Amino acid sequence: MYNVLLVDDEPIVKIALRTMIHWDELGFPICGTASDGQEALNLVGKLKPDIIITDLKMPNMDGLQFMRELNAQNYKGKVIVASNFGDYELVREALLLGAVDYILKISIQTEGLITQLRQTASLLQEEQHTLQEQEAKDRFLRNNLKSVKSSILKDYFTDTHYDIHHFLQNKQIVLNLWATPCYLFYITFDFDPADEHRIKGNISASFIENTILNLIETVNDMEVFQVEANSIIALIPVQQLIDHHMEPAVFMSKVCKLIEMYISLKPIIVFTKQFVGYDEARRKYRACMDALHINFYNQLSTIDVSEVEFSLDMGQANYVDYSISVLQQWQKEGKDSIKNRLETLAQKCKRNQIHPDTVKEFIMKCLDYIPLSESKIQVHDAEQYQNHRKSIAICKTMDALLSETWQAFECLTLLSEAPTLPILKKEVQDVIQYIESHYQDKITLEMIADHVNFSENYLCRVFKEQVGTSLITYINHVRMDKAAALIMQGSTYMKEVASLVGISDQFYFNRLFKKQFGISPSEYKSRQLASTRQLASKTNS
């Protein structure tokens, strides 16, 4: 339904218009009539017509002035002007003022009027739809400005190359804490991944914000946003806590209690001393992330960044000396004695607050060095050895690190620890000697069987019974040990090393070497060079 106002100083025209069509039935009820522009203006405010049909020539206030006044009042409806022949200039000016159409009084027809009304209604519908869309966009923007700002802050804090000033050109997004002394609280949750789906819905910036609002009852002067799936940053102005008579530690304790009360999950909160500005806040966030590593040694729920200071080196220890001492202890006291040595190392690291990344790197270097430095050390399960070594990099606690390190040692065998074999038959001893003398050549089972005058099947069976491994595996072990020795002596070309141990296919050689030592020949070489430089550096110092 669109209400229509008729404006004309001639009663007969208004009567004619009223009787030409069934206004109500067509959806265009006439809400009022007026005789001039002034009278019509008074009715527009009261009746709110959607469509106005107005004459152009009227006393007191003509149609053009009436339209100017409508424009000044920001009238949202549509105007159709009625004119006589010869009023073309007036019609032209009316169209310029915003009239959507015009009708000639003398030739007005029923169908033509209905068509004009319907076309005008379509314009109103389109404008209303556009207006609704714009209002919806404005509403969405208002409702989501906070989300947009949070997203900007998240990217700024987690991406060191992010230019926050570019995005703040949108005047609707305002960061209020550029010059305000603040505390940063980094709130995170360390939970079992199996429970993640249940808890993740509760751990959101809005949840933390509402929790904080229970304590300081303000939202405009703080920033709360998510930086990881289970971690939130809260920037709280110093004055807010002063106004509520709370020190940072007291505030943090209350936040912890509220969170536990709502979701039965204890957070870890890291907090900073006061600072000013978002650039400094980003640096404080990184300091919080690093301070969180203190839980590698201690399970703390609240951490003051200023009280955490890590050492980035292992002090007097270096991985070469430590690895050698581990090997010596292993040879003298057995593998189990290494456990105590590792635990002693862990206690020293905790006491000196060595950074967990430094400790992990040290352990991984030892695990790389030990199998390469002693030919009697064999990696009997290379795949598991590498898996445990990789797991070390993601250990969250020292206990987990000790466990993974020990399991890696379990994948190593010291040949002197192998069970004593029965006295080898002379024929088997001859086979071993033959292999030692001919590993550089192309050895076949037939050649070895002929050498000891056995059938191939019998030779393989007896050899495995006596030595504990197949003949082919034994040959490969000998060749790889010889290859490792060549590399340690300075041989640099792997193709040449492969050829010197009787293997013409370099790819096959690489596969055998990695199976035995857990790393490729080129990695073995680079680590040996690194070890040599380390020893040389130590000697020079």
Domain ranges of the chain: 4-130, 181-307, 319-417, 426-540
Q: What is the CATH number of domain 426-540?
A: 1.10.10.60
Tell me how many degrees the CA angle 262-267-271 measures, rounded to the nearest 5. 125
Place of tokens 């009304």: 117
Burial 65-102 (b: 16+ CB within 10 A, else e): bbbebbeeeebebbbbbbbeeebeebbebbeebebbbb
Express the helix, strand and coil content of the chain in percent, nearest 5 each. 60, 10, 30
CATH number for domain 181-307, candidates 3.30.70.270, 3.30.200.20, 3.40.50.1220, 3.60.20.10: 3.30.70.270
- State whether residue 352 is helix, strand or coil: coil
User: pTM of the full predicted structure?
Assistant: 0.54
Domain 4-130 matches domain 426-540 at the CATH topology level: no
pLDDT of the chain, 541 residues: tens digit per residue: 899 999 999 998 888 898 999 999 999 999 999 999 999 999 998 999 999 999 999 999 999 999 999 999 999 899 999 988 778 889 999 999 999 998 888 888 899 899 999 999 999 999 888 888 878 777 776 667 777 788 888 888 988 777 777 666 655 677 888 899 999 999 998 765 445 444 444 467 788 888 888 888 765 678 889 898 889 999 999 999 998 899 999 999 999 999 888 888 889 999 999 999 999 999 999 999 999 999 999 889 999 999 999 998 887 778 888 888 898 899 888 889 999 999 999 999 999 999 999 999 899 888 888 877 766 787 877 788 888 988 998 999 999 999 999 999 998 888 765 444 445 577 788 888 899 899 999 888 899 988 888 888 888 888 888 777 889 988 998 898 888 888 877 766 888 889 889 998 888 998 998 888 778 888 877 776 666 665 555 545 5
Q: Which amino acid makes up residue 214? A: N
Is domain 4-130 classified as CATH 1.10.10.60? Answer: no
In contact, 5 and 98? CB cutoff 8 Å: no
DSSP 8-state code for residue 415:
G
The rounded distance, in Å, linking the Cα atoms of 427 and 5 is 121
